[in-house]
Amino acid sequence: MDTEKPAVWPGFWARLGAWIIDLVLVAAVCFGIGWLAMDLVSSLGPKGRLIGLAIGVAYFGVTASGFGGGQSLGMRLLGLKVVSVSGRPLGMVVALARAALLITPVILNGLMLNVPSTLWALVLGALLITAMAGLSLAQVYLLIFNRPTRRLVHDLVFGSVMVRAKVTEFEVPPGRRHAVVAAAIPVAILAIFIALLVAPTPWKPNLGAASGKLFPVIDAVNAIPGVSGAAVRDNTTTFYPTEGTPTVNRNLVVSGRVGVWPEEPDGVLARIGAATVGVYEFAPDQGLTVILVRGFDLGFATYSWGESRAYSTTCVAADVTCLKP
C-alpha cells in the first residue's frame, strides 16, 4: 500500500483541528467544575491542576482506547482514529499513559511552586522547562516534519498511530531520524538551562539569599486562618529616563489565596501585611503590596480575581488603617 496516500494518514490541519476541538471541550468541563466548586478548588491553588490532570487523562485516555473506539470528539468530527502500529485498538493502560504524556505540557504550563530550597527550585525549574518547553517543541517538530504519519512523542513512546477512520490496513514507515531529532530537543533545552546556571553571571551569587528571605513570609501568611496558600515575589523595576539618573522601584508583592471570600477582605489583607512585616526585612524605599485572591487553576482552565492594597512597611499591626487605598 502506498503510505503517502492522504486516505491513510491525516494531515497537519486535521490533527491540529482535532486537538483544538478536544482541548476546548476539556477546558469547558474544567471551567464548569471550577466555577461550580469554587470554594473547594480555590483553596487548592496549584494542586487543583491534579483535578485537570485526572480529567484530561480520563478523557484522552478512554476515548483513545478500544473501549472508546479510538476516537475523541475531535477525531470523530474530523474522521480520525487512534490504533496501535499493528492496527489493533489500544489497551486501556497504554491509552491512559499515552494521554498523560500528551497533556503534560498543558498541565505544567504556567505552574508556580513555592519550594523552600534554592537548589531544589533550580532542579525543579530545569525539569519543568525540559518537560514543558522541550516536549512542546518536540511535538511541533514531529507534527510538521514527521511525514507522512506525523506520529507525535506519545505515539512514538506508546506504539500508537493516528489514521483516517475508515482505514483498516496500513504500513508505518520507520521515521527513526525524526524520532532521534525529537528526543534531542528536550536534551538540548536541558543542556542550555544547565549551561546558563554554570556560566558566571552577576545574579547567581545573590539568588540563594534573595529567595531565602521569602520563605518565612510564605510560612507566616499560610498560618493565617482562612488563607490556604501564599505566594511572594520581589519586583524590582528600573526606569531609565532620557536624561538624569535611573531610578529603581522595589516592591514586595504578597498574595494569599482563600476558598471562601471573607465578609471583610480588608481585615484579611491587613493580617497578611502585618504577618509579612513581622518576618521580612525591607530594603530602604521598598514597598509592600498585599493581594487577596480567589479562583481556580485546573491546568486546562484558569480563572481568578482579587483585591489588592498597599500596606505600610512601618506598621506591624493587623489594622486596616495600615492599608493604603
Q: What digits encode the pLDDT tens for the residues 26-35?
A: 999 999 999 9
CA distance 152 to 163: 13
CB-based contacts of 265, cutoff 8 Å, min separation 6: 292, 307
Name every residue whose Cβ is closer than 8 Å to that of residue 195 and which is 6 or more positions away in sequence.
Answer: none
With respect to residue 316, please indicate whether it lies within any of the assigned structural domains: yes
What does the block give as the cell for 26? 476539556
Residue 303's domain is classified under what CATH number? 3.30.70
pLDDT at 209: 43
Residue 160 lies in a domain: yes
Proportion of the chain above pLDDT 90, given as a percent: 65
Question: Residue 246: inside a domain, yes or no?
Answer: yes
Domain shared by 62 and 123, yes or no: yes
Mean pLDDT of 263-271: 95
Q: What is the mean pLDDT of residues 122-146?
A: 87
Instruction: Report the pLDDT value the prediction gives residue 111, as an integer from 0 to 100.
Output: 72
- Average pLDDT (99-126) is 76
Residue 152: pLDDT band (50, 70, 90) is very high
What is the pTM assigned to this prediction?
Answer: 0.84
DSSP state of 155: H
Boundary of a domain, candidates 139, 167, 198: 198
What average pLDDT does range 246-251 have in this prediction?
Answer: 80
- Residues 97-115 have a mean pLDDT of 84
Count of structural domains, the chain = 2
Predicted confidence (pLDDT) at residue 207 exceeds the cutoff of 70: no
In this prediction, residue 121 carries a pLDDT of 65
Strands 287-297 and 247-258: parallel
pLDDT band at 78 (very low <50, low <70, confident <90, very high): very high
Same-domain check for residues 92 and 185: yes
Domain boundary among 166, 198, 230: 198
Residue type, 193: F
Most confident of 87-101, 131-145, 225-239: 87-101
131 and 258 part of one domain = no
83 in the same domain as 40: yes
**What pLDDT, on a 0 to 100 scale, did the predictor assign at position 117?**
59
Q: Are residues 238 and 166 in the same domain?
A: no
